[in-house]
C-alpha cells in the first residue's frame, strides 16, 4: 500500500509538476481561506478575499471589530455568508486570544489540532488545512476529491471515516522525507487531478495519467 500511494504521488507529480498550494500570501490569509472554502469553490473564496483586502480588513482584530452584517456583505461570494461571517469572527477571536501565529506555532501538532477543532465551525478538514498549509505540520488533508480518486483507484472503500483515512495516508507515507512538503504537494495534485480529469461526472479516463492503475469502469 505504501509503495502504491507514493507511486500515485509520483505519477501525478510527473504529470502536473509543483502546484504551489495553498494560495495565500501569509499564514493568516491561508487560515481565512480555509474557513471560507467550506462548501464552495476556490474562485468564490478568492472573490471574498479580494473584498476583505480591498477593505483593508485582512487582520484578525479588524475582522473581530467589524459588525457581523458588514463582514457578511464582504463574504457574499462564498454563500452562506451570514454563517461564515460568524464562523470567521469566532476563529479570529480564538486566534487573537491564543496569541496568534507566534504562540500557537509553539504547540505540538496534536494539541494545536485539538484546539482548532474546539473552535466554532472548524471541522477536521478545515483544521487540517490550517495545520498543513499555515503551520507546515505533517497532517494529510482528506477531502471529497481524495475520497473520489482513491475509491476509483480501488485503494479505499469510500465508507471510511475522516480520521481513518487521514491516519491511513499519514501511516503509509510515514517513511518518506519532508512529509509536510510531500503532503502539501500531494493534496494539491489530487485537487488538480480531480477537478480536471477524475471529475465526479464525465471523467477524462482516456487521457488520465493513472489509467493503468485505476479500477474505475467508465
- Per-residue pLDDT of 43-81, as tens digits, reads 999 999 999 999 999 999 999 999 999 999 999 999 999
Rounded mean pLDDT, 129-148: 97
Query: Does residue 218 carry a pLDDT above 80?
Result: no
Query: Does residue 164 carry a pLDDT above 50?
Result: yes
Sign of CA dihedral 35, 36, 37, 39: positive
Give 125-132 contacts, CB < 8 A, sequence gap 24+: 125/38, 125/162, 126/34, 126/35, 126/38, 128/166, 129/22, 129/30, 129/34, 129/37, 130/30, 130/31, 130/34, 132/180, 132/183, 132/184, 132/187
In this predicted structure, what is the pLDDT of residue 2? 42
- Binning pLDDT at 50, 70 and 90, where does residue 34 land? very high
Rounded mean pLDDT, 210-216: 92
In this predicted structure, what is the pLDDT of residue 1? 44
pLDDT tens by residue, 77-92: 999 999 999 999 999 9
Residue 179 in grid coordinates: 512529509
Task: Specify the DSSP element, H or E, that contains 83.
Answer: helix 81-97
Please give the distance of CA 56 from its chain centroid, rounded to a whole number.
25
Rounded mean pLDDT, 110-115: 98
pLDDT tens by residue, 92-108: 999 999 999 999 999 99
Q: What does the alpha-carbon distance between residue 15 and residue 18 come to, in Å, rounded to a whole number?
A: 10
In this predicted structure, what is the pLDDT of residue 129? 97
The whole-model pTM stands at 0.94
Rounded mean pLDDT, 4-25: 93
Amino acid at each position: 500500500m505504501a509503495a502504491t500511494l507514493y507511486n500515485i504521488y509520483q505519477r501525478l507529480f510527473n504529470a502536473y509538476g509543483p502546484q504551489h498550494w495553498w494560495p495565500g500570501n501569509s499564514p493568516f490569509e491561508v487560515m481565512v481561506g480555509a474557513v471560507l472554502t467550506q462548501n464552495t469553490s476556490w474562485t468564490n473564496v478568492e472573490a471574498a478575499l479580494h473584498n476583505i483586502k480591498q477593505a483593508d480588513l485582512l487582520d484578525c482584530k479588524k475582522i473581530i471589530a467589524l459588525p457581523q452584517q458588514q463582514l457578511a456583505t464582504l463574504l457574499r461570494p462564498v454563500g452562506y455568508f451570514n454563517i461564515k461571517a460568524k464562523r470567521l469572527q469566532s476563529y479570529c477571536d480564538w486566534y487573537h486570544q491564543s496569541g496568534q501565529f507566534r504562540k500557537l506555532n509553539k504547540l505540538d501538532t496534536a494539541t494545536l489540532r485539538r484546539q482548532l477543532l474546539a473552535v466554532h465551525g472548524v471541522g477536521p478538514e478545515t483544521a487540517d488545512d490550517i495545520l498543513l498549509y499555515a503551520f507546515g505540520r505533517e497532517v494529510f488533508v482528506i477531502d471529497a476529491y481524495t475520497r473520489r480518486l482513491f475509491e476509483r483507484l480501488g485503494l479505499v472503500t469510500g465508507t471510511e471515516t475522516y480520521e481513518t483515512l487521514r491516519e491511513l495516508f499519514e501511516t503509509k507515507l510515514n517513511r518518506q522525507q519532508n512529509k509536510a512538503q510531500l503532503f502539501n504537494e500531494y493534496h494539491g495534485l489530487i485537487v488538480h487531478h480531480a477537478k480536471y480529469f477524475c471529475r465526479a461526472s464525465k471523467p477524462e479516463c482516456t487521457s488520465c495519467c493513472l489509467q493503468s492503475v485505476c479500477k474505475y469502469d467508465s
